Amino acid sequence: MITKKPYLISEIIKETPEVSIFRFKAQDNSTLGFDAGMFVMLYYKNPETGEEIGRAFSLASKPDDQYLEFAISMIHGRFTSKLDTAKVGDIYYVTGPHGQFKYDPNQNKKVLFVAGGTGVAPFLSMLRLIEEKKLDTDIKLLYSMRFTTETIRKDELEGYKKSLKFEMTRSVTREQNVPEWDGEYGHVDAAMISRHVADPKERTCYVCGPLKFTKAIEAALVELGVDKANIKADVWGE
């Protein structure tokens, strides 16, 4: 039987028009051991009926943080509607960590991160770990979103341009000709990757986002000659 551990919401941050950052602390103040990139199952238990609903969320916090952090799109689904009305101090339950989408700081010296929407969450965990350990990792991030207002942790990501060997390219899919936008327009494809990453075949490529997005990026990377063994994907949805 899987033990679900109680966690308390310690902070809720309205990050973008549709995404909120949630931080949870274990009720017993313990920390969770995991590798950057992994996810946990988060459960809500109805205090009146005892009914449980759960959903997988990637961890944005780094492995030794005192809290678990998630970037959650408030889509008013069965689970997120509970979070939409949640408040600090509410109890949720956690199992995990789970998954094989892991960053290995000893192996991956050159990486390409490709994120779709809240798929940037596991990359935040990886970037925070890289910064904490003062690693010399060569990092390229391609970050796709629908609108220019949807960059999650924008200031933090911009800061990594100074503290790490890090380059970020953002692209929006539902806007054109936005004043002061310094990114791309359209979906990430092989041509866009080529414009910003001269050596994709030399990198371990991590892709995280919805299924359609992830499949398209995997195909683009293969088109550019990246070995499938060097492509790691984390997928959700249909």
The CATH number assigned to the domain holding 229 equals 3.40.50.80
3-class DSSP assignment, residue 101: coil
Judgement on whether residues 225 and 125 belong to the same structural domain of the protein: yes
Judgement on whether residues 57 and 134 belong to the same structural domain of the protein: no
Amino acid 171: pLDDT: 98
**Residue 37, phi-psi category: left (phi > 0), alpha (psi -120 to 50), beta (remainder):** left
Are 189 and 216 a contacting pair, CB within 8 Å? yes
Assigned domain for 86 exists: yes
Are 88 and 103 a contacting pair, CB within 8 Å? no
Total of domains in the chain: 2
Judgement on whether residues 139 and 207 belong to the same structural domain of the protein: yes
Judgement on whether residues 201 and 129 belong to the same structural domain of the protein: yes
Amino acid 158: pLDDT: 98
Burial degree of 151 (CB within 10 A; 0-12, 13-18, 19+): buried
Q: Name which of 106, 123, 133 is nearest 206 in CA terms.
A: 123
Judgement on whether residues 230 and 132 belong to the same structural domain of the protein: yes
Assigned domain for 87 exists: yes
Amino acid 237: pLDDT: 57
The structure tokens 């341009």 sit at: 161
Judgement on whether residues 118 and 210 belong to the same structural domain of the protein: yes
Q: Which strands make up the sheet holding 5-14, listed edge to edge?
A: 52-58, 39-45, 91-98, 5-14, 19-26, 68-73
Q: Name which of 22, 41, 38 is nearest 152 in CA terms.
A: 22
Judgement on whether residues 130 and 84 belong to the same structural domain of the protein: no
Judgement on whether residues 114 and 230 belong to the same structural domain of the protein: yes
Assigned domain for 104 exists: no
Where a domain ends, among 69, 98, 127? Answer: 98
Judgement on whether residues 56 and 169 belong to the same structural domain of the protein: no
pTM strictly above 0.85: yes
Ranges of residues in the chain with a pLDDT under 50 are 238
Residue 222: give the domain boundaries. 110-236
Where a domain ends, among 64, 98, 132? Answer: 98
Amino acid 1: pLDDT: 64
Judgement on whether residues 86 and 118 belong to the same structural domain of the protein: no
